[in-house]
Structure 1
Amino acid sequence: MTHDTPLSPRPLRHLTEVQRRVLTTAQLRAHGVTAAETTEHCRPGGPWQQFLPGVYLLHPGPPTSEERLHAVLLYATRSSLEGPSPGVPSQPGSDGARPPVRQADAMITGLAALTLYGFCCTPPLTSLEKIDVLVPRLRRLRSAGCARVVRTPVLPGARLVTGLPVAPVPRAVADAVAQLADAGTVRRLLTEAVRVSHCEPAAIVRELKQAKLLSRPHVVDAVDSLLAEGRAMAEERLYRMVREYGLPNPVWNVDLRLPGGPCLGGLDAYWPEQAVALELDTRAPRHGVQQEDDAVWSGYARKREHLERLGITVVHITPKKLREGLEQQATVVRTALMASADREPAAYVVVLPR
């Protein structure tokens, strides 16, 4: 009997090709294959092989990358033929983003997930000795074979990539970094995640912090490079927004100061005639210290309140908003500029290059 042989009493027509080649003990039993028959088919030289505990390949040769991924998910979920199956074609949304799927019991994460997302700096699936699979913390499941179990208190919403449930990029990056000791590899991984617009730096830093990885020196160095890369990209989008949507040219990267008084803080852009200030909000948790994060946020809030008391409108824009809705953010800025005509004149401030 091979994977081409119909199993009774239920046919395999509703399964994809890879699902016909990789089945669990429960799925085989549902098709009338007894444990004794499964054992017989898996003897040396037989037509089948046991790939993971309770998961079988219905052919004797080495598994393909697709079969390995499918087998790992089956091992982690033990799904039945009636349950959710990781073989549904992906249907990207209209904005090109991969849509979230209904809550999965397990999902591919780590380097395998990033390779599925199309990362260039990750190894091909065929060269990965281990495939990381993310499961709830309380699941009674051990790593086995090529399946490395990664636990989490709360499963994130999975993304569907090539028909498989995959962890979101920030979580997959954190799980990959947890297994890496080479500083250059970590830096390349984080840089590509931001440079190719997979996600924002702050999202990655939050996951690294939650995974308690920000105490590792080589990770901290990579995060510093990541945040610098993310800010440079956000600034470039900001310049493009002003240029492409016909906004008045501001003065860039300036400090404001009261005449003869203290510095009011730095701004990414300022329109003196309209008294409109723009600040890129690139806050991200750093080094796992909550007090430092709170201090950064308090500094932002105090500066904004002070400027607004002086009659200066402050527009905060995040890198994510610039990436996902450049036109919408241009409208926000234009509205603030137009509204200046209806406001009381702002206090006089000195504008200095930063």
Structure 2
Amino acid sequence: MTQNTPLSPLSACFPRPLHHLQDVTHRVLSAAQLRARGVSAAQTSAQCLPGGPWQHLLPGVYLLHPGPPSGQERLHGALLYAGRPPVSSRRTAPEAADAGFGEAMVTGQAALALHGFATVPDLGALHRVDVLVPRTRRLRSTRYVEVVRATAALPVPVRLAGVPVAPVERALADAVAGLGDAEDVSRLLTEAVRAGHSEPAAVVRELSAAKLLGRPAVVGAVEALLAAGRAVAEERLYAMVREHGLPEPLWNVELRLPGGPELGGVDAYWPDLAVAVELDTRAPRSGAPEEGRRGGNRGAGRAEDPQWSAYAARRDRLERLGVTVVHLTPRKLREAMDQQATVVRTALMAADDREPAAYLVVLPR
């Protein structure tokens, strides 16, 4: 047999044959995984000769068929390339055959495709795959793989299609960083909210952490994102009232004392019961702690926020006048609508046990 004659990948190269080559994890393997299966470097090189059955997909990564790689194969190969251990650790310890992806995870548009975004191309049509790695990794971008280094701790990945994927907010920030067209940015951010992938506050917070909010292509898109976020939150609030049989309120009204100053607007108001609901759709401040993500005194962080201070002052004024104000966030409405409906129902039922509220004038907002 000459060197140019293709070898059978099952019979000639693998002392312990693979179970099958239909799974992408067996169509794309790293050099370490091949060695663990008894395939020497020389045999691998022979298989990758022109006209051979294998291809050299990326440095240290091989495609075990001659045709063009599929989108999933390119994705898997990118993770194997980015997840291989650093050279220093390879010298001190043997490389595990199935170490696989290490801490690497898919991010950017490829991650958004896996999250189900309709405004990004599918995996097979993407020209590049962004892979997020720890900031200490010394790894170069190559071919279709773009290496993205985390500036802080890596986010916790989610598992989609069998691979680690960055959370939506981080994937969005990395995708936006590579876009210069305002319409493209706006489409991505708006879909994130309208399709229920994330909340505006979380998206804006991640864009702020990535120092992207000042970009011309992002400024207008964030305004559209916040507007879309409020519209979605209002739709969820309407749905909560309908689906849980709550009495119909007056929607989106201004409250004021007769002949007195304005007391502010609320999203829903039951005048006979003096109960109001307000949605918190504020844009987060740069550096503001995310609700529920960090410990510490959350009230102290809010006290420094002018928007929160104004809201708290308005709420105090209304409550001194006998109005119960229920504060809901879009995230709570999305993740725990039943619980939020119970909170509102409890406030409505407790109205008879309270002192009568002051008479207020109600105006459309």
The answer, yes or no, to whether TM exceeds 0.5 is yes
**1:21-40 equivalent positions in 2, closer than 5 A:** 21-40=27-46
Distance in 2 between residues matched to 1:6 and 1:296, nearest whole Å: 69
Match 1:309 to one of 320, 335, 346: 320
SS in 2 for 1:66: helix
Look up the match of 1:235.
234
**How far apart are 1:174 and its partner, in Å?**
1.3
Displacement of 1:173: 1.3
Which residue is 2:271 aligned to?
Answer: 272
Q: Is the 8 A contact 1:23 1:57 kept in 2?
A: yes
Q: Deviations over 1:236-269 (max 9, x none)?
A: 2212222222212211111222334332211111
SS at match of 1:143: coil
2:59 is aligned with 1:53: yes
Which of the numbers 136, 140, 145 marks the counterpart of 2:138? 140
Contact kept in structure 1, 2:209 and 2:287, CA below 8 Å: no
Deviations 1:45-92 (A, max 9, x none): 333221111111122221111110110011111276654657xxxxxx
SS of 1:314's partner is: strand
The reply on whether 1:326 has 2:337 as its aligned counterpart is yes
Deviations 1:187-241 (A, max 9, x none): 1111211111111122211111111111012211111111111111211221222
Instruction: Report the Cα distance in structure 2 between the residues aligned to 1:117 and 1:300, rounded to whole angstroms.
Output: 35
C-alpha RMSD over aligned residues: 2.4
One-letter identity of the residue aligned with 1:173? L
Residue in 2 aligned with 1:216? 215
Corresponding residue of 2:291: none
Counterpart residue type for residue 182 of structure 1: D
Tell me the percent identity: 64
Q: 1:188 to 1:271 in 2, by over 3 A?
A: same
- Give the Cα–Cα distance (whole angstroms) in 1 for the partners of residues 60 and 100 of structure 2: 16
Match of 2:82 among 76, 79, 84: 76
Whether contact under 8 Å (1:253, 1:268) holds in the other structure is: yes
Q: CA deviation at 1:299?
A: 1.6
Write out aligned runs for 1:127-206 (5 A): 127-152=125-150, 153-206=152-205
Larger deviation: 250-259 or 126-135?
A: 250-259
For 2:287 and 2:223, locate their aligned partners in 1 and report how far apart those are by CA, in whole Å: 15
| CA distances 1:262-288 after superposition (whole Å, capped 9, x unpaired) | 3221111111222111001112226x4
Deviation of 1:335 after TM superposition, in Å, equals 0.4
8 Å contact 2:255–2:264 — kept in the other structure? yes
AA matched with 1:298: S
Distance change >3 Å, CA 42–CA 84, structure 1 → 2: closer
5+ long unaligned stretches in structure 1: 87-103
**Structure 1 residue runs of 4+, over 4 Å off?**
6-11, 79-86, 288-293
2:236 and 2:337 mapped to 1: Cα distance? 8
Q: How many residues align?
A: 336
The CA deviation at 1:37 is 2.6
Looking at structure 2, the residues matched to 201 and 303 of structure 1 have their Cα atoms a distance apart, in angstroms, of: 23
Kept in 2: contact 1:3–1:20 (CA 8 A): no
2:305 matches 1:299: no
User: Which residue is 2:357 aligned to?
Assistant: 346
Give ranges in structure 2 of 5+ residues lacking alignment. Answer: 1-6, 86-94, 289-300
Whole-Å Cα distance in 2 between the matches of residues 76 and 320 of structure 1? 34
What is the TM-score of this pair, normalised by structure 2?
A: 0.85
User: SS at the partner of 2:267?
Assistant: strand
TM-score (ref. length: structure 1): 0.87
- Provide, for residues 276-326 of structure 1, a one-character-per-residue CA deviation record: whole Å limited to 9, x for no partner: 11001112226x487998211222222222322332211111112222232
Matching of residue 44 in structure 1 with residue 50 in structure 2: yes
Q: Work out the CA distance in 1 between the residues paired with 2:123 and 2:8.
A: 26
